Structures are given as C-alpha cells and as structure tokens.
Structure 1
Amino acid sequence: MSLSVHDRIELKPKDSCSTSLPEGPWEFDAAPGYGPGASQADPTPDRTVRPGQLPQLYRELDDDVHARIRAAKETLGEKLVILGHFYQRDEVVQYADFVGDSFQLANAALTKPEAETIVFCGVHFMAETADILSSAEQRVILPNLAAGCSMADMADEESVEEAWEDIAEVYGFDPEDPQPDAEGKLPVIPVTYMNSSAALKAFCGRHGGIVCTSSNAATVLEWAFARAHRVLFFPDQHLGRNTAKAMGVPLEQMPMWNPRQPLGGNSEQDLLQGKVLLWHGFCSVHRRFTVDQIEQARTQHPGVRVIVHPECPMPVVDAADAAGSTDAIQKFIAASAPGDTIAVGTEINMVNRLAAEYPDRTIFCLDPVICPCSTMYRIHPGYLAWVLDELVAGRVENQIAVESDVAVEAKVALDRMLAAKPR
C-alpha cells in the first residue's frame, strides 16, 4: 500500500507555496458560487451548500471519514463510479475506480454506462466534460464546487469571442461562417486545451475546432493544420508553444495573444505571419519549474534523468531529458530501471505517489518548495464522504449539469478530441 502524501511530507507554511494549504480546504474556499474553471452558463444546482460550507460533522471525522466512504461505496455498488485525477491527494485517489489524466478519465467516463452517478475527484472543467460525455440518465458530482483551475479562468468566453472577431478582421473572414480557400483550408481553427470551461469547448465546436489534452496535443495540431492555415490555441501558452516547436513551427510564427491589449499586443503583420496564436495563459504549478532547478538536480545527482510536463516553460522543457503528459511521465518512470534517479517537473502528489510505487529508484520533484495544485487539493476526504452519504440517503449534492445548448456544441469538439488518439 502506498503512503499518503501526509505520511511522507508534512505541509508547513515554510514548505508550501501557499500558507493556506495546510488548513482544511473549508477554511479557505468559502467564496460563493463555483470555483475557478466553471462555465458562465453553468446553472447553479438546486440543492447545494455554498462552497466552504461543508457540514461540521465532516470536518471533524478524522479516520472515521474513511470508514464512511468505504461503507457508502459498498452500499452504492455499481450505481457509482469514482474518477480520480493523477494530481489528487492519496487519501482520495485510493477510492477511485479509475485514475488517470484528463484524456484517460474522459474515456473512462464512457465505460460505465450502468453507473447512475459519476463522482469526479478532480476539478470543475473535468466534471463538466464528464457530464457532456455521459448519458442523459447519468449525473456527475464534484465533491467540492470550489475545486477549479486558475488556468481555465485565464481564457473566458467573452475574451475569446472578442479575439475571434479581431482575428477575423485581420484574416478577412466572416467570424460566424469562415469559408475554406482554394486550398480547401480555413484561415484559422480554434483549439482549446482540456483545461477550459465547457463554454469554450462549445466555442470550438461551433467554429470547426477541437479540444486537446497534453497526451494528444501533437495529434490535434496535425489535425488542425490539415484543415486550416493557422491555429488559435488557448488557454495554455506553454503547451501550445512546446508542442508546435517540437513539430517544427518557428518561434517567430507563434505570436502571443494578450486579451488585455489591442490585437493581443501584436501588429497585423505579426498575425499574418503567425501559424500558432498562443493565448496568454499558464499553469501556476508548472510555471514554478526552472532551468536552475534542473541544473541543481544534475549537480547533486550525477546521471539523473529529468522529465517535465509540457505545461512548463519552453526553456525548462528544452533543458529536460524528456517532456510529456502525466500518463507519459508514468510510463517514463515505469520503463526506468532499479537504481535510476529521476527528477520530475509536475504536481507533487503525483511525484510522491510514483516515488512510493518505485522504492528501488530515487524519484523526486524538481521544485524544492512543495506546491500541490491548490484547487485540486480542495477535494478532501470529508467532501467525498459527504456527497456519498447524501447519495445513500437519496439526495444529490454538487451536481454539475452543463446547459444543453452548450453541451451539444462542446461534445462536437470533445468527440473530435477522443478520435485524435495520442501517438
């Protein structure tokens, strides 16, 4: 049995990039409404407590919380499926029926049609995707509505619509009905990373675009370039830049689009020469990794191999030995040999879990300051126990239900993503 993150590290303010992380998530997620990564069109569930208002009982359960989760799972049986992202706490992910990255979990949600309820231990955009892809008879629950994604919030629907209109004017097409040229190609196709709201997935669906994950980003860009001269890639600039660079796109053909500036901070000539327009967004965890950290790892551990997530800045990816999705990182370490030393540039919960799984190897996080994904961290066992107990009692809390018109258009882009198998 693998050790929990708290068995191996004790989060203290001096060790953590957020001094609030050592507290129970209910202490700092009490803002009303949905957390980061929610679509503007999401209806608020009829029955829910506000984020942060976890019943007091579930804040004080200690070890009893696990007995409650196990009992509820047994009672619900095949009516329930729990999905857990790689970045989840060990205390939660141990109850997941499927553990994986966003691409794997999107597929996993389709394999349990008999389950009445999908409990997604991840963040808001993931639960939205599960709701879109699941059947009408299934419902999706996010244990804590405050669990979101700050990157997803860096590209909102209004800003992307405005950017699309500006881009259409520069490239000379109707933003509502772009037409292919004599080569059969569109001027530009929108590509959104999975880490975005359902509203933006719907935007891609109605404009001929597609969703990608870090697993299949290269396949998706190939798909897009076969159909258009350019790509508008949002919200993560680093995944877009690293993927396109590996495909041979020159950096000078990857202008950054800053939604706070006219034409995204570019000249018309910049945009006309561009091949991949990168949105000014990023992951706060992966942006922490640096070339200096890699150099320090190589100095302290001669022979170390370094693998990082492609959400890291380009100089970090270039300095590493390999880069890949969370699933690719798992496979990289599985293919290593006993005695190997591997430094990993991704979220700490996953790194610690891999270190526990392969005790005959030295596996450590590049960042010396412990930095969990703070919103993923909000899925606490207390929240999971609460929503499962409520299901046993016949009540549904924290259901994620994407509006039907948004879901229909988003599913078009998601189906294209699912068909774009990773290399």
Structure 2
Amino acid sequence: MTIASVDTTIQLISSGSIDGATCAPELVDGPWLFDSAPPSYGPGASQDDPIPAFAPKQGELPEEYRTASKEELAERIRAAKATLGDRVAVMGHFYQRDEVVQFADFVGDSFQLANFAKARPEAETIVFCGVHFMAETADIVSRPEQNVILPNLAAGCSMADMADLDSVQECWEALEELYGTEPDADGRVPVIPVTYMNSSAALKAFCGEHGGIVCTSSNAATVLQWAFERGQRVLFFPDQHLGRNTAKAMGVPVERMPLWNPRKPLGGNDEASLGEAQVILWHGFCSVHKRFTVGQIEHARAEFPGVRVIVHPECPMEVVDAADEYGSTDYIVKAIQAAPAGSTFAIGTEINLVQRLAAEYPQHTIFCLDSVVCPCSTMYRIHPGYLAWVLEGLVRGEVVNQVRVADEVAVPARVALERMLAARPDTTMAA
C-alpha cells in the first residue's frame, strides 16, 4: 500500500476523501498566509503557544511562488539546483515535509545536519530546511565566507523561544546569590549550565561563557555526566522533559529536579528545595512531543499486541516510562532499520518522520501514537515555494534570508559546542 505524504494526507482529510482528523483546518493553507501580522507559529502542534516579540519574521513571498503548482515548483527547484551544482548544499531536517525533503542533499537531525554543513566547505551557500536555531548553529560551525539561508525566517521553534537570554541571566544571578560562586573541596563549581541544541545561539554562547555545554537528545547522558564531574548541580534548559528523563535514567531522584518558572521568584521554588537540587529544569517543552500520552500507548498495545513502542525523550516522563524504549530521531530510525521484517512499531515523534519511515519500510507496520495529524508548526513553515524562491535568488546572484550570528555570540557558542564534541561517554559505566 502506498503511504501518502503528510501534506497529501492533510489535503485528503480536509476534502473528505479519507477518514481522519487534523489539529487545525488551516494546515491546508499556504504558510505564507501566516507570515504577516499578527505573528504566530502557525497551524500545527505549536499553534497555541504564545510567540515572543523577538521571534523572527518573514517578509512577503513573491506571488509567482505562492500561486505555482506543486509540479512547477518541483521543476524550478530541480533546475536551480542543477545550475548551482556544488555551490549550494541543501539540508533537510527529519521533520520537514516530504515535498521539501526530496530535494535535500543531506537529511538528518539538527546535530547531524550541523556536521553535514561543516563537512561541505566547498559550498558557497547552505540552504537549511529546518528552523531558526538550526540555521544559527550551521552558521556557527561553517566557514565565515559561507552563507547560511533559512527559506522561511518565520520557521522558529516555540521550545527554543521558551528560554530567552534575559530570563536565563536573571535565573543565573538568583542561583549565584543562593549558592555563591566558589567551588567545593573537589573543585566542582556550584552550577553548570547545559543547553539543549534546540536553543538560540545566544544561550549556547551563555553556556560557553559560564563553563557550560550543549547537548543533543542522543548525547544528553554523556553531557550530564560531563557536567556533574565539574559542577555540584546542573541548570538544564530549555526542555524540561529531556532533562528530567535523562537525569532520572542516570539515577537522579525526581524530587531533586525542581522546575524553574522564569515568571516566578526563585522560579517558583523555596531555598530548601533548590539547596537539595541536582538538576534545575527550565519550564520549557516541545509542543509536538507534549501531545503523546500514556492512553495512546495503552490503545496501541490493545490494537496491536506485541507492538514495539518507541518515543522521543522530549515526551513527558510518564510517556517515556510507559514506552518500551526512548531515543533520539536517529535512534528511532536505526531501530526500525535493524528490526526483523514484520515488526510493528508505534512511534512517538513528529508525524512527517513517522509517515516517511512507514513508506520507506513497508515490511513493517509503523504508525504514529497520535492518530490526529498534527505536524510541527514551525517545520511546516518551510514550503517548496520558499525553497524555489531562495534557490532561484542564488541563481541570480542574490542571497535572501541569510542567517548570520555575530562574532561576539558565535565565538563563545562555538566553545560550548566544542565541549560537547569533546565529551565522550564513560565506557566503564553500567549500561
């Protein structure tokens, strides 16, 4: 059976051609309809998240790209790529729509794509089909003379926006006042800041300047081990769930992981609980992975006895606990690749990746835990129309939508990223 792309599925549901449900009827519309005021993340998983004033904005997409057919856009993209050749490298995140991913030279998660960008020094321009923090990271790790383009500047990330530099600095000052700044007898400082890759360049720079480090969903345990060797406790932002799930698996009691709400004094905590804290978790989350529930897992097990449930560590703790396994997008992909034919998987991550895996591995039964089709709002802001626009601009010698991180931010952010790359898991630790 041919499995339709998420875009096609949404169109079929909207027209009544197939049964199903989406989280927003506006998903059938072109994302350019949401680029003008009032600003929003757009339809999809983050549609109800409040968007901050500093979120990036996109100007109007020229009409020829808004009105072109899917077939015309595909032909124009192919022609532009052929003309540009090795001068351009197109990066496509796992969560991008199939209609965009098909043109990517590299497909992966945010960390893999940053490495791919670094590995293409001959390319004059990197076109990053992902979200804003990913394009920033690509600019940080690529050569200074390379251009990094984000096809739609409004493709931000609501989780990344939940921790801004001012709020983190205020938190840091409060923690310094509470804990002091002197190391203990073992030389460990009071707090080590750890930021998830899904954060702004400014927060990566903050970590670089304060002895901290960056982590990904695949190396979070290694990074936390690195941090505990150097600090008495960790401040983890912006995703509370990745921090909680990782630290819990390492043996940190949940009661020693208070949540820091930046809108409340001391983050909504008292000095006693902060004094006992091992990991201070920022009040942030991924709206895609927040949608998954224990009830969905129970339903999948009832419908498909023997199903293998794998969820992303950005899911809430009770969902991770109820699943058979949890892991990064790369972990999920490799688990499916290695499974014996005839396996059944219920996956708790973004729908574009899940449906693509189902199409690529027809020997398995693969479905998303959430039956409602609800893609990542901000990944969905990248449309073939925007990709055609930026590529044809490059053919004309025009660089539009360039993402550039200032040196005063890029340099310390690079320090935090390099610490992450240098951190290696302790092979003597129990599995």
Once the 2 structures are TM-superposed, how far is the Cα of residue 194 of structure 1 from its aligned partner? 0.8
Q: What pairs up with 1:68-83 in 2 under 5 angstroms? A: 68-83=76-91
Question: What is the letter of the counterpart of residue 247 of structure 1?
Answer: M
Provide the C-alpha distance between the structure 2 equivalents of 1:87 and 1:330, rounded to a whole number of angstroms. 12
Tell me, which stretches of 5 or more residues in structure 1 are unaligned? 45-49, 174-178
Q: What residue number does 1:28 align with?
A: 34
1:234-259 C-alpha deviation (Å, 9 max, x unpaired): 00000000000000100111011011
The change in CA–CA distance for 1:11 and 1:194 in structure 2 (over 3 A counts) is: farther
Tell me, which stretches of 5 or more residues in structure 2 are unaligned? 15-19, 42-48
Question: What is the letter of the counterpart of residue 368 of structure 1?
Answer: S
Q: What residue number does 1:208 align with?
A: 211
The alignment status of 1:58 with 2:65, answered yes or no, reads yes
Out of 127, 137, 147, the position equivalent to 1:139 is 147
The change in CA–CA distance for 1:107 and 1:37 in structure 2 (over 3 A counts) is: farther
1:273-315 C-alpha deviation (Å, 9 max, x unpaired): 0000000000011000000000000001111110000000000
Out of 197, 201, 208, the position equivalent to 1:198 is 201
Does the aligned pair in 2 maintain the 1:38–1:197 contact within 8 Å?
no
Provide the C-alpha distance between the structure 1 equivalents of 2:8 and 2:339, rounded to a whole number of angstroms. 25
Does the aligned pair in 1 maintain the 2:10–2:28 contact within 8 Å?
no
TM-score (norm 1): 0.93
Q: What residue number does 1:168 align with?
A: 176
Provide the C-alpha distance between the structure 1 equivalents of 2:159 and 2:76, rounded to a whole number of angstroms. 33
Q: What residue number does 1:380 align with?
A: 383
Root mean square deviation, CA, Å: 2.2
Q: What residue number does 2:107 align with?
A: 99
Question: What is the letter of the counterpart of residue 28 of structure 1?
Answer: F
Question: What is the letter of the counterpart of residue 233 of structure 2?
Answer: R
Moved more, 315-324 or 18-27: 18-27
**Structure 2 SS opposite 1:140:** strand
Provide the C-alpha distance between the structure 1 equivalents of 2:275 and 2:224, rounded to a whole number of angstroms. 19
1:326-382 C-alpha deviation (Å, 9 max, x unpaired): 000001111111111100000000000000011111100000111100110010000
Does the aligned pair in 2 maintain the 1:238–1:314 contact within 8 Å?
yes
Q: What residue number does 1:47 align with?
A: none
Question: What is the letter of the counterpart of residue 398 of structure 2?
Answer: R
Q: What residue number does 2:75 align with?
A: 67
Out of 95, 105, 113, the position equivalent to 1:87 is 95
Provide the C-alpha distance between the structure 2 equivalents of 1:18 and 1:11, rounded to a whole number of angstroms. 14
The alignment status of 1:367 with 2:375, answered yes or no, reads no
TM-score (norm 2): 0.91
Does the aligned pair in 2 maintain the 1:2–1:357 contact within 8 Å?
no
Once the 2 structures are TM-superposed, how far is the Cα of residue 19 of structure 1 from its aligned partner? 2.8
Question: What is the letter of the counterpart of residue 117 of structure 2?
Answer: A
Q: What residue number does 1:261 align with?
A: 264
Provide the C-alpha distance between the structure 2 equivalents of 1:231 and 1:158, rounded to a whole number of angstroms. 19
Q: What residue number does 2:11 align with?
A: 10
Provide the C-alpha distance between the structure 2 equivalents of 1:291 and 1:2, rounded to a whole number of angstroms. 26
Out of 227, 230, 238, the position equivalent to 2:241 is 238
1:115-173 C-alpha deviation (Å, 9 max, x unpaired): 11000000000000001111111010000000010001110111100000001111022
Once the 2 structures are TM-superposed, how far is the Cα of residue 212 of structure 1 from its aligned partner? 0.7
Does the aligned pair in 2 maintain the 1:12–1:22 contact within 8 Å?
no
Does the aligned pair in 1 maintain the 2:65–2:389 contact within 8 Å?
yes
Provide the C-alpha distance between the structure 2 equivalents of 1:219 and 1:23, rounded to a whole number of angstroms. 42
Once the 2 structures are TM-superposed, how far is the Cα of residue 11 of structure 1 from its aligned partner? 6.2
Does the aligned pair in 1 maintain the 2:10–2:22 contact within 8 Å?
no
Once the 2 structures are TM-superposed, how far is the Cα of residue 33 of structure 1 from its aligned partner? 8.6
Once the 2 structures are TM-superposed, how far is the Cα of residue 109 of structure 1 from its aligned partner? 1.1
Provide the C-alpha distance between the structure 1 equivalents of 2:286 and 2:346, rounded to a whole number of angstroms. 19
Q: Tell me how many residue pairs correspond in the alignment.
A: 412
Provide the C-alpha distance between the structure 1 equivalents of 2:38 and 2:133, rounded to a whole number of angstroms. 18
